[in-house]
Amino acid sequence: MPDNTPLLRVPPPLTARRRAEPGKLAPPRLLKSAGFRFAVLFAAMFASAAIALVAVLWWATAGALDRQTDVAIRADAVALSERWREAGQNAVAESIEERLAVDVGNEAIYLLMDASGSLRLAGNIDRWPPEAAERAWFRTVVRHDGFEVEARLHRVDLPGLRLLVGRDETEREMLRRLLTEGVIWASGAVILFALLGAWLLRSVLQARLRPAFRTAAAIGGGDLGSRVALSGREDEFDRLAQTMNAMLDHIGTLMVGVRGVSDAIAHDLRTPIARARAKLEDAVGAARDEAALRAAIEEGIADLDNISRIFRALLRIAEAEAGARRAAFAPFDLVPVLRDAAELYEASAEAREQRLEVDLPQQLAMVGDRDLVLQAVANLLDNAIKFTPPGGSVRLAARQTASGLVIAVSDDGPGLSPADRAQAGERFFRADKARATPGSGLGLSLVVAVAHLHGGDLLLDDARAGEAMPGLRAELRFPLP
Amino acid sequence: MRILVVEDDAEVARFVKKGLQEAGHKVEHTGSGRDGLFLAASEPFDLLVLDRMLPGGVDGVRLVETLRSQGNRTPVLFLSALSAVDERVKGLKAGGDDYLTKPFAFAELLARVEVLSRRPSAEVPATKLRVADLELDLLSRNVARAGKRIEVQPREFRLLEHLMRHAGQVVTRTMLLEKVWDYHFDPQTNVIDVHVSRLRQKIDRGFDKPLIHTVRNAGYMMRDEP
């Protein structure tokens, strides 16, 4: 097995240079490598299977031969015992001579002696083996046919006689040796294949993990666009890669959002900051008296307040967009919330000689962030009242539909052109017609963010299409929880 | 009144201290949470103005929690750069009485300090509020000025009640939005002004002595004298 070969050949890890501990991204030590452990597991399984196979084979061949021998010996012993019972000592001796005469394989071994063991009555070995005194079945070396041979022997107890029945095992012994040799060779092959298989398994595992590892390393190094390459096999590794990619995409979207907010902050806070700064600087140099200086400073403070208001709005939008507030979602009745908002703005509408018409059902159950929904509706009402001319009316309505809840705010104002509508949710967007009215261009951005936070959407349309003042109809749609 | 200001930013602390002293209060200041806790626990103060985030291991929330667990009920006003709704809730849950987000106008801070230090005593629930010849009956929910009944809407009643309870104190627009409407966000336009001017129409119109006064750069005040 390759020892300590680098597990993964990643491009020189960027982070390794930055971190104090360069070992972090280096291939894991062999014993810690999961690939190695899987490989060892594989080899162990493979070897176990091979051992089981050899054991069965051994039992079926060498074992079977042994058992066959024993069966034959036992049959002989039984037959000779019968013979003795029927016809006595001489018949047994005769029977043994007969059996020896017909034994072409020259395997059978008999020895019949008298009780003292000094007189051989029949048989083909000359010495009573000492092992026969202790055990009925045994294996020993005897002198048979002029050769020292391995024999399997059985002592048969007959009154007044000593009888040994056995088989020469030379042939079988050779066969067993052959078998053992075969098993040893096969075991070598098994070990070789196990190691080869383990190495292959490890290499395949490494190869399949390499794209994920490489991507993670690239992202760790700052390349956020990197994605895990799919093998197209749609297996577990591909599923892991897909999950990782989905996660990276989401992180990417959030990063773009964050970047968008910081860009917008940088871009759009600079203008009011520059304005405030210019005014203050001008006042320092050019103010003729204290009153003028004081007025300039007050204006500067007002500008700063406005900047911090914009900043707060941006943070609120970011908070909603990040989805962190979803943890604070709770069920509430939308109707009192809408009534409160209408009540708050009713006075403003009245002051501008507008009517605020409210059309709400008895109850609308919703799950979400009450404060944010309230602010979204407040922003819509604020816009509607701001853009409706005196004498016009603003309508707040809400209803339950098959797909969810709809809150609609419509006004009698100039409305938005289709092109402006598409842009209306962007931060700091202000339609040309709206430049003269006060506002930060963040109101609808928050509404859109709140809608998205609740899985809903903001739809903008003409309130009365085709008229000179088509008005704007803003619909907040929340899906059913 | 004795006020303890615990704020680590020297400039903000100086500004707050100077302003409060000019308003006639005695002010102690410390920059660390640990010293603040020691001072607040060992000396009597009428009010604590605490920064939410403080160096020295003890932040504003921890400080208040510790004080409250010792049975110290001194009113606490949080100053914080953390504007998220949750942060505000966290501050109030810990035992804070009010929460002001940085940056803030000093008038807003002062108004809140005055309100906190002169909280209406809860032991004697008044059933009638009176400012000059204006009378508000909390039980029958009637409003009358110089004996003449004035019709107000429910929300206007609450607005008037709040102004009268804090008669002689400045009440800012944000405070009204928080206390009367329970809203914790900036409306884009000054909706509160419209409500106050409508209420003013009903209360002050036809009387030569106005009771609801506008305090420039701060908010409103209900008071007897012109």
Domain B2-117: top CATH class: alpha beta
Q: How far apart are CA A241 and CA A231, in angstroms?
A: 9
Q: Return the pLDDT at B220.
A: 93
Pairing of strands B98-101, B76-80: parallel
Q: Return the pLDDT at A439.
A: 66
Q: Hey, is A469 helix, strand or coil?
A: coil
Region at A287 (left for phi over 0; alpha for psi -120 to 50; beta for the rest): beta
Q: Is the dihedral of CA A427, A430, A435, A438 positive or negative?
A: negative
Report which of A283, A303, A296 is spatially closest to residue B103, judged by C-alpha positions.
A303
For residue A451, give every residue at least 6 positions away whose Cβ sits within 8 Å of its Cβ, in sequence order, or none. Answer: A376, A457, A458, A476, A477, A478
Nearest chain A residue (CA) to B199: A347
Mean pLDDT taken over chain A? 82
Residue A192 has pLDDT above 60, yes or no: yes
The Cα of B180 is separated from the nearest Cα of chain A by a number of Å equal to: 11
Contacts of A347 in chain B (CB under 8 A): 191, 194-195, 198
Q: Mean per-residue pLDDT for B117-128?
A: 67
Contacts of B194 in chain A (CB under 8 A): 347-348, 350-351
Contacts of B195 in chain A (CB under 8 A): 344, 347
Q: Mean per-residue pLDDT for A104-132?
A: 84
Long-range Cβ pairs for the range B128-132 (8 Å, 24+)? B129/B161, B129/B164, B129/B165, B130/B164, B131/B164, B131/B167, B131/B211, B131/B222, B131/B223, B131/B224, B132/B209, B132/B211, B132/B224
Q: Return the pLDDT at A1.
A: 42
Residue A419 has pLDDT above 90, yes or no: no
Residue B121: pLDDT band (50, 70, 90) is: low
Contacts of B108 in chain A (CB under 8 A): none
Preferred mutation among A303, A325, A346 to probe B, highest tally of B CBs within 10 A: A346
Q: How far apart are CA A431 and CA A219, in angstroms?
A: 40
Report which of B86, B65, B88 is spatially closest to residue B78, judged by C-alpha positions.
B88
What DSSP assignment string belongs to chain B? -EEEEE-S-HHHHHHHHHHHHHTT-EEEEES-HHHHHHHHHHS--SEEEEESS-SSS--HHHHHHHHHHTT----EEEEES--SHHHHHHHHHTT-SEEEESS--HHHHHHHHHHHHTPPPSSS--SEEEETTEEEETTTTEEEETTEEE---HHHHHHHHHHHHTTTSEEEHHHHHHHTS---S--SS-HHHHHHHHHHHHHHTT-SS--EEEETTTEEEE-S--
Look at B187 and A382 and tell me if their CB atoms are within 8 Å.
yes
Residue A6: pLDDT band (50, 70, 90) is: very low
C-beta of residue A374 within 8 angstroms of C-beta of residue A337: yes
What residues pair up with A399 in beta bridges, in sequence order?
Answer: A406
Q: Return the pLDDT at B24.
A: 92
Report which of A338, A348, A356 is spatially closest to residue A476, judged by C-alpha positions.
A338
Residue B85 contacts A, CB cutoff 8 Å: yes
Of B183, B191, B217, the CB nearest to A347: B191
Q: Return the pLDDT at A415.
A: 82
Taking the alpha carbons at both ends of chain B, their separation in whole angstroms is 26
Chains A, B: CB contacts within 8 A come to: 58
Nearest chain A residue (CA) to B155: A343
Q: What is the DSSP letter of A481?
A: -
Contacts of A351 in chain B (CB under 8 A): 194, 197-198
Output b/e per residue, A451-471; b: 16+ Cβ within 10 A: bebbebebebbbbeeeeebbb
Residue B216 contacts A, CB cutoff 8 Å: no
Higher pLDDT: B198 or A173? It is B198
Residue B191 contacts A, CB cutoff 8 Å: yes
Q: Return the pLDDT at A186.
A: 85
Mean pLDDT taken over chain B? 87
Higher pLDDT: B109 or A22? It is B109
Of A298, A312, A371, the CB nearest to B186: A312
The CA distances from residue A158 to A77, A83, A89, A123, B51, in Å, are 10, 11, 10, 16, 112
Nearest chain A residue (CA) to B190: A348
Residue A18 has pLDDT above 50, yes or no: no
Q: What is the pLDDT of residues B179-198, one digit of tens each?
A: 898 887 777 678 899 999 99
Contacts of A374 in chain B (CB under 8 A): 183, 185
Residue A189 has pLDDT above 50, yes or no: yes
Residue A333 has pLDDT above 90, yes or no: yes
Q: What is the pLDDT of residues B145-182, one digit of tens each?
A: 988 899 998 899 999 999 998 888 889 988 898 889 88
Look at A319 and B84 and tell me if their CB atoms are within 8 Å.
yes
Q: Mean per-residue pLDDT for A324-338?
A: 84
C-beta of residue B5 within 8 angstroms of C-beta of residue B37: no
Q: Return the pLDDT at B144.
A: 92
Look at B194 and A351 and tell me if their CB atoms are within 8 Å.
yes
A2 cis-preceded (ω within 30 degrees of 0)? no
Residue B6 has pLDDT above 90, yes or no: yes
Look at A343 and B155 and tell me if their CB atoms are within 8 Å.
yes
Of A340, A351, A443, the CB nearest to B188: A443
Taking the alpha carbons at both ends of chain A, their separation in whole angstroms is 57
pTM over 0.90: no
Q: Return the pLDDT at B109.
A: 92
Higher pLDDT: A36 or B30? It is B30
Kindly report the backbone phi and psi dihedral angles of residue A47, in degrees, each rounded to the nearest multiple of 5, phi listed first.
-65, -40
Report which of A287, A373, A391, A278 is spatially closest to residue A330, judged by C-alpha positions.
A373
Q: Mean per-residue pLDDT for A61-68?
A: 86
Contacts of B217 in chain A (CB under 8 A): 298
Report which of A429, A394, A435, A400 is spatially closest to residue A413, judged by C-alpha positions.
A394
Look at A351 and B197 and tell me if their CB atoms are within 8 Å.
yes
Q: Mean per-residue pLDDT for B140-148?
A: 90
Look at A328 and B183 and tell me if their CB atoms are within 8 Å.
no
Look at B198 and A347 and tell me if their CB atoms are within 8 Å.
yes
Q: Mean per-residue pLDDT for A436-450?
A: 78
Q: How far apart are CA A41 and CA A205, in angstroms?
A: 14
Q: What is the pLDDT of residues B101-117, one digit of tens each?
A: 888 888 889 999 988 87
Nearest chain B residue (CA) to A342: B191
C-beta of residue B23 within 8 angstroms of C-beta of residue B68: no
Q: What is the pLDDT of residues A229-255, one digit of tens each?
A: 888 888 888 898 899 898 888 888 778
The Cα of A314 is separated from the nearest Cα of chain B by a number of Å equal to: 11
Q: What is the DSSP letter of A351?
A: H
Higher pLDDT: A68 or A271? It is A68
Cβ atoms within 10 A of the Cβ of A82, count?
12
Look at B188 and A382 and tell me if their CB atoms are within 8 Å.
yes
Q: Give residue limits of the domains in chain B.
A: 2-117, 128-222
Q: Return the pLDDT at A15.
A: 41
Higher pLDDT: A31 or B146? It is B146
Look at A345 and B191 and tell me if their CB atoms are within 8 Å.
yes
Contacts of A298 in chain B (CB under 8 A): 217
Of A305, A347, A386, the CB nearest to B194: A347
Of A325, A371, A379, the CB nearest to B188: A379
Q: Return the pLDDT at A90.
A: 86
Of B83, B184, B197, the CB nearest to A315: B83
Q: How far apart are CA A139 and CA A142, in angstroms?
A: 9
Preferred mutation among A299, A301, A307, A308 to probe B, highest tally of B CBs within 10 A: A308
Q: Return the pLDDT at A407.
A: 94
Is A343 buried (19+), middle (13-18) or exposed (0-12) by CB count in 10 A? middle
Q: What is the pLDDT of residues A259-313, one digit of tens each?
A: 776 776 777 678 778 888 888 888 888 878 888 888 888 888 888 888 888 888 8
Range in A379-393, A395-409, B9-23, B124-138 with the lowest mean pLDDT: B124-138
Q: How far apart are CA B196 and CA B164, in angstroms?
A: 13
Residue A328 has pLDDT above 90, yes or no: no
Contacts of B184 in chain A (CB under 8 A): 371
Range in A94-98, A193-197, B123-127 with the lowest mean pLDDT: B123-127
| Percent of chain A at pLDDT exceeding 70 | 88
Q: Return the pLDDT at A438.
A: 63
Look at A351 and B198 and tell me if their CB atoms are within 8 Å.
yes
CATH number corresponding to B128-222: 1.10.10.10
AA identity, residue B202: K
Residue A149: pLDDT band (50, 70, 90) is: confident
Contacts of B185 in chain A (CB under 8 A): 316, 371, 374-375, 378
